[in-house]
Amino acid sequence: MQEFEIKKKELDFRTKEAFKTLRTNIEFSGENTKVICITSAMPNEGKSSISFELAQSFAIAGKKTILIDADLRKSVMRTHYRRGNVKYGFTHYLVGKKSFEEVLCRTDTPNFFMVFAGPTPPNPSELLGAERFSKLIAELREEYDFVIIDTPPVGSVIDASIVSKSTDGVVVVLSSGAVSYQFARKIKEQLDTAGARVLGVVLNKFDLSGKSYYGKYYGKYYGKYYGNYENQEGTEKTAAGSAEK
């Protein structure tokens, strides 16, 4: 088994609360909801960040959690979240070059395990649709409390729809103001056609400065109980929204 240290990134209070809410909503979406596919409509909507922080949130809460980077086409996790050398990735396992134990990584966060994507293969959709992948997910379901799978944008390639067949539900990440209602609806229809169970949507990158509707609502709500966080050093202006049915 490989090991690596997570690059530490301190989240502000509201972002931490958003991930706790997302985690809780998933936990209450059903007793057997253990394997979660994370996707987005388009690139650069923050799905990989959501996948990583959500998985880490489950682990911190005491749940044995594994995050699989199944974005075999254009992974960002291999450079964004690790310190230390990780030699083998998910592609090595899917093509039969390495065992799962050899590509698995133990992190420095208790209960948190991870598999990085590895080199880009010429046939990612075929690898993710093969029996080797579905059998692995069935095995991980028995060993871990939660399995989080980061996949490419469903509006660009079919990978997420293929992966969703082996999961208990899909969470779609949408960047605020970046995707039209009509396109988001097409994404939902595409997942429905694949037989996916859509758990909900994470609204990412919305403005919390107080100028937008969300900023005014959350600023008033949280400010009433916790004070004005706009003046706290390091407060970010974006946060992950919660997944709701």
Q: Confidence class of residue 211 from pLDDT cuts 50, 70 and 90? A: low
Q: Is 238 within a domain?
A: no
Q: Is 236 within a domain?
A: no
Q: Is 244 within a domain?
A: no
Average pLDDT, the chain: 85
Q: What pLDDT sits at residue 212?
A: 52
In tens, the pLDDT along 14-50 reads 888 889 999 999 999 888 899 999 999 999 899 999 9
pLDDT reading at 164 higher than 90: yes
Domain around 102: 2-231
Residue 43, both tokens: 């690139």
User: What is the arithmetic mean of pLDDT over 2-16?
Assistant: 83
| Nearest-angstrom CA–CA distance, 53 and 109 | 12
Q: Confidence class of residue 141 from pLDDT cuts 50, 70 and 90? A: very high
Q: What pLDDT sits at residue 162?
A: 96
Of 56-70, 142-156, 161-175, 195-209, least confident by mean pLDDT is 195-209
Number of H helices, E strands in the chain: 10, 9
In tens, the pLDDT along 82-108 reads 666 789 999 999 999 999 999 999 999
Q: Confidence class of residue 239 from pLDDT cuts 50, 70 and 90? A: very low
Q: What pLDDT sits at residue 210?
A: 55
In order of 91, 208, 245, the CA distances from 147 in angstroms are: 18, 30, 20
CATH code for the domain of 188: 3.40.50.300
Q: Which residues contact 16 (CB under 8 A, 6 or more apart)?
A: none
pLDDT reading at 231 higher than 90: no
Q: Is 243 within a domain?
A: no
Residue keyed to tokens 């919660």: 242
Eight-state DSSP code of residue 186: H
Q: Is 110 within a domain?
A: yes
Q: How many domains does the chain have?
A: 1
pLDDT reading at 225 higher than 70: no
> From the CB of residue 231, how many other CB atoms can be counted at a distance below 10 Å?
7
Q: Is 245 within a domain?
A: no
Q: Is 218 within a domain?
A: yes
Q: What pTM value is reported for the model?
A: 0.84
Q: What pLDDT sits at residue 15?
A: 86
Which is more confidently placed, 12 or 109? 109
